[in-house]
């Protein structure tokens, strides 16, 4: 065992030794420096290992052989070991990363770096407040020194600002130290903490001064302009160290000093933390410079951690876990991002598209972003989960709201950035050069995130049960990404089928989950089959698709809320990448992600309330929510409704589904949307009827569903883009489902299930076929198509059957839904909602006709003459689904009866079967007979026409009665564009994009506010100093001045 004191000794010794070297021997110097950094990293790592594995007790190190208060003492415990290891690792990697720069600037800078890392170590370890001050100062000076690594003019300015501000702060800290010494008679932190300075007259001032300076060191919003500039101006390699190392150390200082003031001071930490978290994130939304953006993000994360410290008395034993898991995510992600920024060398976010030249780096970039937002499987996910759960048990709703709001704002800019990197044109003027010393640190940090995430997950209640097997499969596909599509597709399909078989054995008695398992995994197989017609490797597609399906499976399997939420987020992440693959998908993927994250936070809030109601982590906890019951259910419903794209939350869908790739659209539309449906069904089953708030919620949701249907269907009517039309149609169909399940009767739910199954089948067919056609014809615009029936008869039949189902025309299965709907609505008494629903249902015919007419009928365009039928790999799954539709249509009783029986557990039975005939109190319906009657009659009538027909002359497209003239061109004869102009004139006001306008103005408001607010960062260092002073004054007035 190497004593921790060697960390200081070796670092300082080396620093002096470096000073003795000739200034030209930079190679030797850098080797020595790296060796030193490696050594101290080894020492702290060794201690960490001891604590973790051997359970060693905390060690106190007394310098000069005296005990406190007569000597400075250091402590090496679990926490210190962990933090110093983190700091030293960051230090080592940064040193490695910066090695070229350091060599260029000379040996002195290496010395400073060593001293800097050492000072951070001491800050963490020391138990002496004055020693703390000294090393804080040393770290400040070292920081200011290292900023000079960047020889740009603005680095000088930034360093100057930093020096002035920290000078004021440290002066203040000194006064605080001397006064607390005066009152407590000791400089030892433990003794200070035990001294109850608060109780002494005037002691509060001492504590105030210490706290304000400690907090100011953490760069609280808005008194942090000086800190941001350093992040911006310093070399990214060093910014990484500031962000990960200094912040870590600074937070630990705050943590160490927390007991000094006791609980009365905690709320101030929380408030300042919250302000910093939200304020900095707001600033982040307006940043164009990646480093500055990362600076704001760093500060916001520190704010969040400060909040957590402030809430430590409420979080109890979990504080450290929460703080650590968020800290480590911030640490690794921010360091990684800063280092990446040094590799990319772009002064604006748009330049990051260059990452696409090196897909693995893009992957790492995504990893860091997702880790920052708190997606699984990264530690921050678990930390945030635990944080929110604990806050909810303490009924601390305000802080929950603020944390989630802040996180959301953070997502706004981080995902914008990620979207830029994934979708913008690769800039030609930026070159990414591979340098192992720069790439290795990035790799390691990403690896850290995954490892730690896996490591911390069992520490959360319920986290031990998370099923990582699907994720491992995804990982395997990542590894196999170089293989051609055919192989990967086969592997994926085989894997899914295997897993489905396995899953079914677990779901034996749960019909609802079985149905959704068929939709999710069966749908996955069918839609993946369409992938066989793609060529090349299709890089990145399969891992992401499988990630989405893994998430979907996880939702079905989940027993606890954590597992559910975990899978939900995995699914969201996977689908985001799938959606953003489309050519013009960037803005749509972005809005999808934002709505998803917003929805996920609503879910999180709801889950937290459920957890807090009975400290029950299973999903069954949704059944007995006692805290803010109505709000909880509303939030959960809203959360799920972001996925079902209900009214108000639907604006992401048309673009996301419309612009996605041809086989991604069916995945996200036919399958992914059902995740929201599954969630809603689960929620409503647990919620049940009869509660006052619940019933009101259901009533509102019923209206929302009805209006969603209307808006979705009307929106589809006026689309010219085939896939957008289908996307709007999805909104409408999901509105039906929301409405149906909101009815909360057996009939309503049967209708809901019918719609779910139907929508899965027909929307998969439609998106597959139309997607295939869109690709083949090279246009989304329906008015540029036409006449495809002759070229693609099989596609036409598939689409025809689908639209018959959508329209609810007997004898196909769509009618089952309509019939159940009418009966459910009249039984329930929701007449007007019902009327809206049926109005919308008939509007569906408008867009269905437009779709099939514009694409398949009418005039064939010149450039499509040589078209062939679309790929059989698209048609095969479509026709398999058609077989499904036909079976469902001919034997609805076979499927609906078991569902009805399952539902009769939850709802009074309102539908019974006699053979193939269904009865309600209102009427009856016999799908099988209808099928027989219609088929027979149709065949007879067809026979009649054939019998009466004469020899038929088949004519060409322009052989039409055209006032005895010829049409000029097909384009001028094909009636499709704005075909419902008259309708638009009459009811077009209903499609005013009110919701879009609302969200647009909301985001404009946010950005304008951020833009207005950031004017405080005027760039003038005196202003920044003034901010510091004002911060002190305001804090004083609030904390002690009675404000």
Nearer Cβ to other proteins (95/807): 807
Task: Give the DSSP H/E element, type plus range, for residue 345.
Answer: none
Q: Angle formed by the axes of helices 831-856 and 746-777, to 10°?
A: 20
**In whole angstroms, how close is the CB of 778 to other proteins at the nearest point?**
3
CB 442 within 8 A of CB 364: yes
Name the DSSP class of 126.
Answer: B
Residues paired with residue 560 on neighbouring β-strands, in sequence order? 618
CB of 258 to other proteins, least distance (A): 23
Residue 889 in contact with residue 932, Cβ under 8 Å? no
3-state secondary structure of 70: coil
Residue 250's contacts (CB-CB under 8 Å, 6 or more residues apart) are 123, 214, 217, 218, 302
Neighbours of 681 (CB within 10 A): 21
CB of 837 to other proteins, least distance (A): 9
The minimum distance between CB 910 and other proteins, in angstroms, equals 13
Residues 179-186: contacts with CB within 8 Å, 24+ apart? 179/205, 179/206, 179/209, 180/129, 180/206, 180/207, 180/210, 180/260, 182/206, 185/69, 186/68, 186/69
Length of the chain in terms of residues written = 1043
Of 157 and 514, which CB lies nearer to other proteins in the complex structure?
157
Of 305, 303, 345, the residue nearest 328 (C-alpha): 305
Rg over CA atoms, the chain: 32
Q: How far apart are CA 355 and CA 433, in angstroms?
A: 11
What the block records as the tokens of 991 is 């499609």
Measured from the CB atom, the residue of 651 and 840 that comes closer to other proteins is 840
433 vs 985, which CB is nearer to other proteins? 985
Shortest distance, position 438 Cβ to other proteins, whole Å: 24
| Closest CB 763 distance from other proteins, rounded Å | 18
* Minimum gap (Å) between residue 937 Cβ and other proteins: 6
Q: Based on CB atoms, which residue is closest to other proteins, 187 or 306?
A: 187
What is the smallest separation between the CB atom of 14 and other proteins, expressed in angstroms?
20
Partners of residue 919 on adjacent β-strands: 912, 924
Instruction: Tell me whether residue 162 or residue 590 sits nearer to other proteins (CB atom).
Output: 162
Of 207 and 322, the one with the shorter C-beta distance to other proteins is 207
Least Å distance, CB 228 to other proteins, is 8
At residue 913, φ and ψ (nearest 5 deg) are -115, 140
Is the Cβ of residue 377 or residue 841 nearer to other proteins in the bound state? Answer: 841
Record the tokens describing residue 154, joined without a space: 């603005």
- Closer to other proteins by CB, 153 or 690: give it: 153
804 closest CA partner among 796, 794, 812: 812
Pairing relationship of beta strands 917-919 and 924-925 according to DSSP bridges: antiparallel
Please check whether residue 372 is in contact with residue 277, taking contact to mean a CB–CB distance below 8 angstroms. Answer: no
Cβ 907 to other proteins, closest distance in Å?
20
CB of 905 to other proteins, least distance (A): 27
Of the two residues 164 and 432, which places its CB atom closer to other proteins in the complex?
Answer: 164
Q: What is the C-alpha separation between 468 and 465, in angstroms, rounded?
A: 9
Taking the least distance from each CB to other proteins, the nearer of 829 and 898 is 829
Cα–Cα–Cα angle for 171, 174, 179, nearest 5°? 135
Q: Which is nearer to other proteins, 382 or 815 (CB)?
A: 815
What are residue 262's phi and psi, to 5 degrees? Answer: 80, -170
> What pairs with residue 917 in β-bridges?
914
Nearer to other proteins, 574 or 810 (CB): 810
CB of 1008 to other proteins, least distance (A): 14
For 566, the 3-state DSSP assignment is: helix
E strand or H helix at 766, and its extent?
A: helix 746-777
Residue closer to other proteins, measured from CB, 508 or 956:
956
Q: How far is the CB of 934 from other proteins (least distance, A)?
A: 6
Give the residue among 677, 590, 639 at the shortest CA–CA distance from 404.
639
Instruction: Work out whether the CA dihedral 946, 952, 956, 958 comes out positive or negative.
Output: negative
CB of 853 to other proteins, least distance (A): 4
Q: Which two tokens stand for residue 958?
A: 């322009």
**CB under 8 Å to 13, separation ≥6 — which residues?**
none
Q: Which two tokens stand for residue 975?
A: 């009636």
- Could you tell me the smallest distance in angstroms from the CB atom of residue 222 to other proteins? 12
CA angle 543/545/551 to nearest 5° reads 100
In whole angstroms, give the CA distance from residue 644 to residue 673.
Answer: 5
Q: Do residues 3 and 63 make contact, with C-beta atoms less than 8 angstroms apart?
A: no
Both tokens of residue 610? Answer: 């459920």
Burial of 879 (0-12, 13-18, 19+ CB in 10 A): middle
Q: How far is the CB of 829 from other proteins (least distance, A)?
A: 8
DSSP string, 360-379: HHHHHHHHHHHHHHT-TTSH
Least Å from the CB of residue 171 to other proteins: 5
Q: How far is the CB of 195 from other proteins (least distance, A)?
A: 15
HSE of 546 in the Cβ direction (CA atoms, 13 Å)?
28
């Amino acid at each position: 065992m190497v004593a921790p004191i060697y960390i200081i000794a070796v670092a300082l010794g080396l620093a002096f030794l470096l000073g003795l070297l000739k200034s030209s021997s930079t190679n030797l110097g850098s080797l020595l420096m790296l060796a030193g950094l490696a050594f101290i990293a080894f020492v702290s790592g060794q201690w960490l290992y001891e604590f973790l594995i051997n359970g060693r007790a905390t060690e106190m190190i007394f310098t000069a052989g005296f005990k406190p208060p007569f000597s400075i003492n250091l402590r090496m415990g679990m926490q210190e070991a962990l933090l110093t290891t983190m700091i030293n690792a960051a230090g080592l990697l940064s040193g490695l990363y910066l090695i070229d720069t350091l060599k260029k600037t000379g040996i002195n800078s290496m010395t400073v770096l060593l001293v800097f890392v050492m000072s951070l170590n001491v800050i963490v370890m020391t138990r002496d407040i004055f020693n703390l001050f000294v090393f804080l100062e040393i770290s400040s000076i070292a920081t200011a020194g290292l900023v000079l690594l960047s020889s740009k003019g603005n680095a000088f300015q930034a360093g100057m600002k930093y020096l002035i501000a920290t000078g004021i702060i440290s002066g203040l800290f000194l006064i605080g130290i001397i006064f607390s010494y005066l009152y407590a008679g000791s400089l030892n932190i433990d003794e200070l903490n035990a001294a109850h300075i608060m109780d002494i007259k005037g002691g509060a001032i001492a504590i105030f001064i210490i706290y304000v300076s400690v907090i100011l060191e953490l760069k609280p919003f808005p008194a942090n302009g000086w800190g941001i500039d350093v992040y911006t101006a310093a070399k990214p390699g060093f910014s990484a160290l500031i962000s990960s190392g200094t912040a870590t150390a600074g937070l630990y200082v705050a943590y160490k000093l927390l007991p000094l003031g006791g609980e009365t001071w905690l709320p101030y930490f929380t408030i300042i933390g919250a302000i910093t978290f939200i304020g900095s994130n707001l600033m982040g939304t307006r940043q164009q410079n990646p480093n500055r953006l990362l600076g704001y993000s760093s500060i916001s994360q520190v704010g969040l951690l400060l909040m957590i410290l402030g809430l430590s008395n409420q979080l109890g034993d979990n504080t450290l876990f929460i703080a650590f898991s968020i800290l480590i995510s911030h640490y690794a992600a921010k360091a990684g991002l800063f280092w990446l920024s040094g590799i990319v060398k772009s002064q604006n976010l748009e330049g990051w598209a260059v990452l696409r030249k090196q897909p693995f780096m893009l992957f790492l970039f995504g990893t860091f972003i997702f880790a920052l937002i708190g997606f699984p499987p990264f530690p921050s996910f678990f930390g945030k989960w635990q944080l929110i759960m604990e806050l909810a048990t303490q009924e601390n709703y305000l802080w929950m709201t603020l944390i989630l709001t802040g996180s959301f704002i953070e997502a706004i800019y981080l995902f914008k950035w990620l979207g830029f990197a994934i979708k913008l044109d690769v800039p030609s003027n930026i070159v990414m050069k591979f340098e192992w010393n720069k790439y290795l640190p990035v790799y390691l940090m990403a690896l850290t995130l995954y490892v730690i995430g896996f490591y911390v997950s069992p520490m959360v209640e319920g986290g031990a049960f998370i099923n990582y097997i699907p994720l491992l499969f995804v990982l395997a596909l990542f590894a196999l990404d170089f293989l051609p599509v055919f192989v990967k597709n086969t592997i994926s399909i085989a894997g899914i089928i295997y897993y489905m078989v396995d899953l079914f054995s677990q779901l034996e008695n749960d019909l609802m989950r079985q149905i959704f398992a068929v939709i999710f995994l069966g749908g996955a197989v069918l839609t993946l089959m369409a992938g066989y017609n793609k060529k090349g490797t299709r890089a990145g597609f399969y891992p992401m698709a499988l990630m989405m399906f893994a998430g979907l499976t996880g939702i079905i399997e989940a027993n606890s809320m954590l597992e559910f939420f975990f899978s939900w987020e995995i699914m969201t992440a996977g689908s985001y990448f799938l959606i953003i693959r489309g050519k013009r998908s960037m803005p749509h993927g972005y809005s999808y992600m934002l709505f998803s994250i917003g929805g996920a936070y609503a879910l999180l809030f709801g889950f937290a309330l459920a957890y807090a109601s009975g400290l029950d982590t299973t999903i069954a906890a949704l059944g007995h929510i006692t805290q803010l019951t109505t709000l909880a259910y509303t939030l959960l419903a809203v959360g799920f409704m972001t996925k079902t794209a209900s009214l108000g939350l639907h604006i992401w869908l048309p673009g996301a589904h419309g612009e996605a790739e041809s086989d991604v659209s069916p995945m996200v539309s036919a399958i992914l949307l059902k995740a929201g449906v599954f969630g809603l069904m689960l929620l409503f089953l647990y919620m049940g009827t009869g509660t006052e708030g619940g019933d009101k919620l259901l009533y509102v949701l019923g209206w929302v569903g009805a209006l969603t249907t209307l808006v979705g269907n009307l929106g589809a009517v006026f689309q010219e883009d085939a896939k957008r039309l289908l996307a709007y149609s999805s909104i409408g169909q999901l509105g039906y489902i929301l409405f149906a399940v909101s009815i909360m009767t057996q009939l309503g739910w049967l209708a809901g299930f019918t719609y779910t199954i139907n929508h899965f089948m027909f929307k998969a067919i439609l998106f597959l076929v139309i997607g295939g056609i869109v690709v083949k014809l090279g246009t989304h615009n329906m008015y540029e198509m036409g006449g495809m029936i002759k070229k693609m008869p099989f596609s036409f039949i598939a689409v025809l059957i689908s639209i018959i189902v959508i329209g609810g025309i007997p004898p196909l299965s769509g009618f089952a839904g309509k019939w159940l709907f009418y009966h459910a609505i009249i039984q329930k008494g929701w007449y007007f909602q019902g009327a809206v629903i049926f109005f919308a249902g008939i509007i569906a015919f408008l867009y269905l006709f437009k779709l099939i007419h514009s694409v398949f009928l009418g005039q064939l365009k010149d450039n499509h003459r040589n078209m062939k039928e679309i790929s059989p790999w698209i048609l095969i799954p479509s026709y398999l689904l058609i077989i499904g539709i036909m079976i469902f249509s001919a034997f609805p009783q076979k499927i609906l009866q078991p569902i009805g029986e399952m539902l009769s557990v939850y709802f009074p039975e309102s539908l019974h079967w006699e053979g193939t005939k269904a009865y309600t109190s209102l009427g009856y319906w016999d799908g099988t007979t209808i099928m027989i009657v219609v088929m027979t009659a149709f065949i007879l009538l067809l026979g009649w026409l054939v019998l009466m027909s004469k020899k038929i002359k088949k004519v060409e497209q322009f052989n039409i009665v055209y006032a005895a003239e010829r049409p000029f061109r097909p384009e001028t004869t094909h009636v499709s564009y704005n075909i419902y102009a008259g309708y638009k004139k009459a009811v077009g006001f209903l499609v005013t994009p009110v919701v879009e306008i609302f969200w647009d103005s909301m985001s404009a408001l946010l950005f304008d506010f951020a833009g207005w607010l950031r004017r405080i960062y005027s760039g003038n260092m005196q202003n920044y100093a003034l901010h510091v002073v004002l911060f002190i004054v305001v804090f004083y007035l609030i904390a002690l001045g009675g404000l």
